[in-house]
């Protein structure tokens, strides 16, 4: 999978070099390129935004600069993800869908967001014909300072689903068993008694069928508590 992220704060993406994601890039399962939007600004101050038509607070990011940054990345078979609190809320199912993509481009807006025409433009039939798909995505119903953290969250959730990225592929298999909105069962490790709290008895015996039943029930209890 190839990932491009466009931002005015490339430093936000340095955690992608760590841990399993760093290793996945070394193994070439994944290639992540971060682009500085300011490099595409042609004015003297390298500014990327302007005042909103119709008035109102804040600034809006210029479609011209976004167009210059995005054009070279809009290759055949690409998912363009525009991060915005007004987008469709990201979840595990969406992560699964994006994990099957060959090229993801994350457009990280700041201020009052990116001029709306950018998403409209890359949705035109000429781009649809090249299998370019535009998605407006939010990671939750709250407003962040910009799309960078949202892109990081999405990249982590999506890339761990790519075969070979996770150290232990069995963890993925267990998650997919719990697909129907179930959260995972509670986990315990040694010691068997910690500060007076004992590990549930069933986990200490070796009855795997009983353990599986207990875990399924616990996962359901947890899911209900979250409703």
Distance of closest approach, residue 115 Cβ to ligand ADE, in angstroms:
15
Q: Which residues have C-beta within 8 Å of that of residue 51, sequence separation ≥ 6? A: 59, 60
| For ligand ADE, the closer CB: 125 or 145 | 145
**Token couple for 103:** 């090229």
Q: Classify the phi-psi angles of 185: left when phi > 0, otherwise alpha if psi is within -120 to 50, otherwise beta.
A: beta
Min CB(138)–ligand ADE separation in Å: 4
Helix axis angle, 148-159 to 92-99, nearest 10°:
70
CA distance 202 to 210: 7
The smaller minimum CB distance to ligand ADE, of residues 145 and 205, is found at 145
Q: Tell the smallest beta-carbon distance from residue 44 to ligand ADE (Å).
A: 28
Distances (CA, A) of 72 to 2, 17, 104, 105, 194: 14, 24, 13, 11, 56
Supply the minimum distance, in Å, between the C-beta of residue 57 and ligand ADE.
15
- CB nearer ligand ADE, residue 15 or residue 140: 140
Q: With respect to ligand ADE, which residue has the nearer C-beta, 145 or 191?
A: 145
Residues near 216 by Cβ (< 8 Å), separated by ≥ 6? 185
The answer to whether residues 153 and 81 touch, using CB atoms and an 8 Å cutoff, is: no
CB of 77 to ligand ADE, least distance (A): 24
Distances (CA, A) of 140 to 27, 69, 136, 182, 184: 32, 26, 12, 19, 21
User: Which residues of the shown chain bind ligand ADE in the complex (CB under 6 A)?
Assistant: 83-85, 138-140, 142-144, 146-147, 150
**Between 13 and 185, CB nearer to ligand ADE:** 13
């Amino acid at each position: 999978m190839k990932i491009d992220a466009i931002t005015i704060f490339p430093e936000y993406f340095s955690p992608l070099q760590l841990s399993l994601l760093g290793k996945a890039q070394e193994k070439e399962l994944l290639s992540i390129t971060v682009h500085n939007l300011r490099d595409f600004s042609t004015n003297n101050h390298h500014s990327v935004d302007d005042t909103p038509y119709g008035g109102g607070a804040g600034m809006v990011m210029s479609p011209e600069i976004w167009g210059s940054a995005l054009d070279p990345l809009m290759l055949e078979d690409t998912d363009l993800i525009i991060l915005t609190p007004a987008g469709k809320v990201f979840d595990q199912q969406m992560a699964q869908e994006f994990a099957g993509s060959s090229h993801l481009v994350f457009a990280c807006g700041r201020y009052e967001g990116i001029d709306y025409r950018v998403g409209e433009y890359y949705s035109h039939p000429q781009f649809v014909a090249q299998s370019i798909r535009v998605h407006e995505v939010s990671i939750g119903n709250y407003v962040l300072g910009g799309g960078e953290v949202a892109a990081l969250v999405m990249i982590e959730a999506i890339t761990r689903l790519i075969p070979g990225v996770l150290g232990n592929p069995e963890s993925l298999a267990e998650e997919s068993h719990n697909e129907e909105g179930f959260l995972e069962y509670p986990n315990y490790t040694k010691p068997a008694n910690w500060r007076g709290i004992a590990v549930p008895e069933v986990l200490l015996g070796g009855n795997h069928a009983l353990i599986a039943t207990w875990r399924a029930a616990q996962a359901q209890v947890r899911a209900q508590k979250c409703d």
